[in-house]
Amino acid sequence: MKANSNRRDNESFIDKKISEIPIDKLSRESNYCKRKPRKILPAELIKGFFLMAFGKEQNSFKNWAEKIGLLVHTTITKQALWKRMSCEQVQFLRKVFEVVFSQRAVKDWDISKSEKLKQFQNVFIEDGTHIQLDESMARVYPGNKYWDRTNKRIGKTKAIMKIQATYNIVTQQFIRFIIGSYRTNDQQYAATITQYARPGDLVIRDLGYFSSKVFKLLLKEGISFISRLRMKVSLFSVKEETPIDLAKMLRRRGIIDTDILISKDEKTPVRLIAFPVEETIAVARRRKAKKQKKTNLTKEQSFFMGFHFFVTDVPADKISIQDVELLYRIRWRIEIIFKSWKSCMKITDIQQDTNQYRLESYIYCMLMFIIFFQVDLYNHLSEVAFKKSGVTQKRGLSLMKFTQYVVNNIVLFVLGYHCYKLTCSSKSDMELIEKQMILNSLYESRSDRINYHQYFLKLS
């Protein structure tokens, strides 16, 4: 009994996670393994990917095969791995990912339940990120077309994959991933949030999802929302339903917090909020807009860039103007997540000579890594840090710094602590590792900006 316990203690983080998955059963169900494999074992395929993708060497089938060979103690050629890249392998990895996704650990610590957030059961943020692919993948993942210098379309089409992610701030969990093409825009996904959100939940989105029809649907379902205002949408007064001159109202009031109707067709009732931004921000906005449009802004466009505009259905007695701004800033969490995928995890480092099976195998393995580490391990470490007093609790853990630490020490998590000459058979060993991870993941103490963790403290 003691020997078995020591063996479990010496297992790597990934070994423990994979042991919770019926991986052999899933490999048979997907026809990936019709008989017992001799070399490329299903679990080692995934672990070998982690060693390959987050190692110092270039992503390649040769490197992936070498890492699998290291795990199974034999030699494996890149051709042998190449032959296994099939629809059956993609189906197998998809099934494993679905199990990993469904077994998400529910955290029991309460940092995200600040006073303002306690009014909502869940708080969902949603966005998509793009991955540029080789042109040969344009048939499966079509993107936009190329343009020449005269702004004339050229026949070739780019290949772009889009990953749509929905994240629950309260539980610190991903709710769904949707893998699709660039041509399916955010607005086409907007109404699908009702598959997950329930009455009492809050949805925070950017302008890409703006739709008066969807707002009306959310109102009907009892789901609250906060969104930026699309400036071209028609605005009407609630009583007379007459058009509103927004610029005139702003010049007269300076700050707006009032109920209106949006969209000529829908006449959706919302609460409109507008307040001025710092002059430096306004100047930067105007400069950026002028550069993008390559023309001078109208007086009205220039004026509007000096303000923040939001629409919501949450009344003023529940959240103030300042709270709306703070809550919307939480949406940047999804942007930080995507940034960590690209800069730390290098999710865009896909070989150019790939095909659909290799590409989707790569993506599903990456998504498994995200669930294992950016959800399970990060939440566990945040819980440990939150229960500590003093500086650790006040500063919080940076997702970017945490992800970079994991990537830099991937061998520790895949091969086990013994590769660092640590057995972790004692509580003190584990506490030492957790202490080091926390120390290397803490936000820097800065006076010129507020981090994600501090936004929650301001909402309490």
Write the CA distances from 242 to 216, 236, 252, integer angstroms.
19, 5, 18
Tell me the C-alpha distance between 179 and 185, whole Å.
12
Tell me the C-alpha distance between 177 and 436, whole Å.
31
Tell me the C-alpha distance between 305 and 104, whole Å.
42
Query: What sign has the CA pseudo-torsion 114, 116, 122, 125?
Result: negative
pLDDT of residue 220: 96
Q: The tokens of 299 are what?
A: 């007086």
In the block, tokens 């707006």 appear at: 256
pLDDT of residue 6: 47
Closest CA relative to residue 189, chosen from 207, 164, 212, 213? 164
The proportion of the chain whose per-residue pLDDT surpasses 90, expressed as a percent, equals: 55
pLDDT of residue 7: 46
| Tens digits of residue pLDDT in 342-352 | 999 989 888 77
* Mean pLDDT to the nearest integer, 206-218: 95
pTM score: 0.87
Supply angle C-alpha 46, 48, 49, rounded to 5. Answer: 65
Confidence of residue 427 (pLDDT cuts 50, 70, 90): low
Residue 29 contacts by C-beta under 8 Å, 6 or more apart in sequence? 95
Write the CA distances from 121 to 167, 221, 452, integer angstroms.
14, 14, 20
Tell me the pLDDT of the chain averaged across its residues: 86
| Tens digits of residue pLDDT in 132-191 | 998 888 889 998 876 555 555 566 778 999 999 999 988 889 999 999 988 888 888 999
| Tens digits of residue pLDDT in 47-82 | 999 999 998 888 888 999 999 999 999 999 999 998
pLDDT of residue 201: 96
